[in-house]
Amino acid sequence: MKNALEYIESLRSLKPVIYCNGEKIESVVDHPMTRPHVNSAAMTYAMAFGPDADLATATSHLTGKKVNRFTHIHQSTDDLVKKVKLLRKISQKTGTCFQRCVGLDALNATYIVTHKIDKECGTEYHQRFIEYLKYVQENDLMIAGSMTDVKGDRSLKPGQQADPDMYVRIVSKNEKGIVVRGAKAHQTGMANSHEMLILPTTNLGPEDKDYAVAAAIPVDAPGVIHIFGRQTNDQRRLQGDIDTGNAKFAIVGGETLTILNDVFVPWERVFMCGEYQYAQEYVEKFAAYHRQNYGGCKVGLADVIIGATQAMAEYNGVPKASHIKDKIIEMINLAETMYCCSIACSAEGKPTEAGSYYVDTLLANTVKLNCTRNMYEISRLAHDIAGGFIATLPYEADYKSPITGPYIEKYFRGRADVPTEHRIRMARLLENMTGGTALAESMHGAGSPQAMRIMLYRETNLKEKMKFARNLAGIKPIQAQGEEAAATKENK
């Protein structure tokens, strides 16, 4: 396993093509726009050697060696539960997205789906994937789970698009491998990953078989271009540390638009090639695993937000006010509700035919749907308690200016025994954690709310629920009523 420093140094050997704000980034480790994201991902490596190593590591079922949990295939419900607990702890330490869970979910989804394809189609994807997984575990690689396509016209299927590159597709194949073209959007952690694992993003029909592709690609493979996404307040990283709110770890996951310009992939790294009938299952397996995460990572962020809000109440001198306590209690309730859902969907997990463990799909989708609401409400309550000055504070440069600084020091003080700088720093942390990009990720990460609603409706057995109600109400099913009436008539 790599430690945090070894992970950071391993990135120096890669040469990905990354553009940000009109310029090419030569080193993700050293560039101020990407370094915070490197730091947050490094925490996933550091945890494997700290007091929480039991959560952060696992024993590989392939090699028997200890591996980082982010490269592990779940072997029990205990593994699923530990994953959630680990995500919460890392978020508490970083206050941001640490990016690596997307790749973990892609690995686990691929393990299940390749096994099924091989069983039903006689292919060799699963064994290929196992060999690739051994390589990932042995080298403790950070994998960018790469699912979301740019989609173009959402009313049209991939094969119906005016521009066929709106979904990643296979443009050619030969005895050595395949060539893919297209783009993947919102790619969390891509800039500081070692490899990407591309997956299909929607259900596909026979006419879409060229879009049924899963493959592993190095982030610096020829033909791959990354365009680093802009985030709320990201330019503050270039101006100091106070105004960023979380200077060491940034605020969100460092997403990219990743372009695949006729990228060659050798067959040993191809895990789906045209089996369109399995695309929907691929999507659902990945999505359920990823939605499981949100009651872990987002609750860890909520823990930080709640702590910052309580601190602001104390800095403002009102921690004992009843309405403040009530709002803090509500924030705690909302956070722990999300956590309960994640633990539940993990504890209710079941073994798959591939031998790995999979979460309860219904409960996993409940986790994420709650997050799309609860994180917004937690943020609203934080704004309510902290006060409007978190959105109107002067520049850090003005605070440090000998001319204006004394005025800011004087007039932005709360309680006399709390340094003004502490109050400003806490306000900036709340500002950046509860607005803009951070909230949008809570809404749309792992799928939009409508995607969860569809899965809730699909996974719920409504006929069974109606049966419960009819039994208690003394109502016999219509068919049974008809049979009883026929029998009565026959007796007469």
Q: Catalytic residues, which ones?
A: 97, 101, 188, 255, 290, 294, 297, 441
Q: How far is CA 293 from the centre of its chain?
A: 7
* C-alpha angle 12-17-19 in degrees, rounded to nearest 5: 110
What span, in angstroms and rounded, lies between the C-alpha atoms of 401 and 426?
A: 20
What secondary structure letter does DSSP report for 447? Answer: S
How is 361-372 classified by DSSP, letter by letter?
Answer: HHHHHHHHHHHH
Residue type, 486: A
Phi, psi for 146 (deg, rounded to 5): -125, 85
β-sheet bridge partners, residue 24: 19
Closest of 381, 379, 382 to residue 440, by C-alpha: 379
What span, in angstroms and rounded, lies between the C-alpha atoms of 265 and 203?
A: 23
13-17 long-range contacts, Cβ below 8 Å, gap at least 24? 14/194, 14/218, 14/219, 14/220, 15/220, 16/191, 16/219, 16/220, 16/224, 16/226, 17/220, 17/224, 17/225, 17/226
Cβ neighbours of residue 107 under 8 Å, at least 6 residues apart? 71, 73, 133, 136, 143, 145, 197
What span, in angstroms and rounded, lies between the C-alpha atoms of 35 and 248?
A: 8
Q: Which helix (H) or strand (E) holds 488?
A: helix 478-491
How is 272-329 classified by DSSP, letter by letter?
Answer: EES-GGGHHHHHHHHHHHHHHHHHHHHHHHHHHHHHHHHHHHHHTT-TT-HHHHHHHH
Residue 42 neighbours by CB distance under 10 Å: 24
Query: What per-residue string of b and e applies to 418-428 under the rule 16 or more CB within 10 Å gives b?
Result: bebeebbbbbb
Q: Which helix (H) or strand (E) holds 146?
A: strand 143-146
Query: What per-residue string of b and e applies to 124-159 under the rule 16 or more CB within 10 Å gives b?
Result: ebbebbeebbbebbeebbbbbbbbbbbebeeeeebb
The token pair that represents 77 in the structure block: 């419900």
Q: How far is CA 245 from the centre of its chain?
A: 22
